[in-house]
Amino acid sequence: MPSSPDLYSPLAAWFANHRRALPWREEGTSAWGVLVSEIMSQQTPVARVAEPWRTWMKRWPTPQALARADSAEVLRAWGSLGYPRRALRLHECARTVEREHGGELPVGVEALVALPGIGDYTAAAVASFAQGQRACVLDTNIRRVLTRVLDAKAAPSAHVTKRDRARFEKLLPVEVEHSRIWNEGVMELGALVCRARNPMCEACPLSEHCAWLQAGRPGLGERTTRPQSYEGSDRQIRGRILKTLREGGAATVGTLENASGADSERFVRLLTDLLAEGLISRTASGEITLGAGTHKEEHVHAR
């Protein structure tokens, strides 16, 4: 039985020469800073995250600082990164760290995944990149690279199966430092070379071991899932409402309805959803503002 090929050595050598100088990779970045970068990068390309991350970390360097912030400020600082509920969860995460962990980000996947907004990927990434832990990081890049190398398929399955996790975990080096380099390096390879659309196999350090390349790169342009159209979607309407509030402060319901471009019934439904999620609130004078508002008002109404 042949021993499995050494993927680590060529990968590590490649990574040493192609590692991007992302701001959160600078010496001295806290685990909290890495966590913030991971949340911001969920479904948002890292190139778009770099600047907002700098500004954010300068303003709120620690969980304590963010915990003290108002949710409206947090949402405004989030800007157009998308999926603003991530900002609310990061805010909640900071408050949980403050309240339950003495202001110190807990160490390890199990403790991290229990925090708001942190799932399997983000917990493993923070543990591996910033906490000296050996954790198996599975993001869209790593899953695509390993699916190609091992399974000769162009794209990974829709979600992480137990079987995939078990197989990919076997490739993770035992030594902690090597496991971090493996995670970062394979992720970087997926972002720069083994890309979803135009993979540069001629520049790939794993090309000799890649089952997909040897099979002739089958299924490269295949459609996987139905493209969920954005134009005219609830997401677009919600986005317009929040953008109006970010840029203009408080607004009347009428102003927001006009800006939303939705019919009245749909607008009311979406506004109700946004209120329930804490993305907006209603002031005493009946205007709509960004953020969850204060609990004081609820007491006033409760009387």
Partner DNA sequence: AATCCGGGGTG
Partner DNA sequence: CACCCAGGATT
By CB under 7 A, name the binding residues for DNA.
22, 24-25, 37-38, 41-48, 80-86, 89, 116-123, 125, 139-141, 144, 155, 158-159, 161, 187-188, 190-191, 195-198, 223-224, 227-230, 233-236, 238-240, 242-243, 273
For residue 2, with 0-12 CB atoms within 10 Å meaning exposed, 13-18 middle and 19 or more buried, which class applies?
A: exposed
Helix ranges (H only) for the chain are 8-18, 31-40, 46-59, 63-68, 71-78, 85-100, 109-113, 120-130, 140-151, 162-171, 176-192, 211-214, 234-248, 253-260, 264-276, 295-302
Active-site residue 38, yes or no? yes
Which of residues 171 and 186 has its CB atom nearest to DNA in the complex?
Answer: 186
Contacts 24+ apart (CB under 8 A), 5-14: 5/209, 7/149, 7/171, 7/206, 7/209, 8/173, 8/178, 8/182, 10/205, 10/206, 11/182, 11/185, 11/186, 11/189, 11/205, 11/206, 12/178, 12/181, 12/182, 12/185, 13/205, 14/185, 14/189, 14/205
Tell me the β-bridge partners of 290: 280
Nearest approach, Cβ of 168 to DNA (angstroms)?
14
Which of residues 41 and 281 has its CB atom nearest to DNA in the complex?
Answer: 41
Pairwise CA distance, residues 60 & 64, whole Å: 8
Nearest approach, Cβ of 44 to DNA (angstroms)?
4
| DSSP tag of 5 | P
Nearest approach, Cβ of 148 to DNA (angstroms)?
12
Q: Which of 26, 38, 104, 298 is catalytic?
A: 38
Residue 158 contacts residue 226 (beta carbons within 8 Å): no
Which of residues 42 and 179 has its CB atom nearest to DNA in the complex?
Answer: 42
Which of residues 35 and 67 has its CB atom nearest to DNA in the complex?
Answer: 35
Pairwise CA distance, residues 218 & 222, whole Å: 9
Coil, helix or strand for 192? helix
| DSSP tag of 290 | E
Which of residues 264 and 285 has its CB atom nearest to DNA in the complex?
Answer: 264
Pairwise CA distance, residues 186 & 192, whole Å: 10
Nearest approach, Cβ of 193 to DNA (angstroms)?
12
Nearest approach, Cβ of 195 to DNA (angstroms)?
7
Which of residues 174 and 230 has its CB atom nearest to DNA in the complex?
Answer: 230
Nearest approach, Cβ of 275 to DNA (angstroms)?
13
Just list the catalytic residues.
38
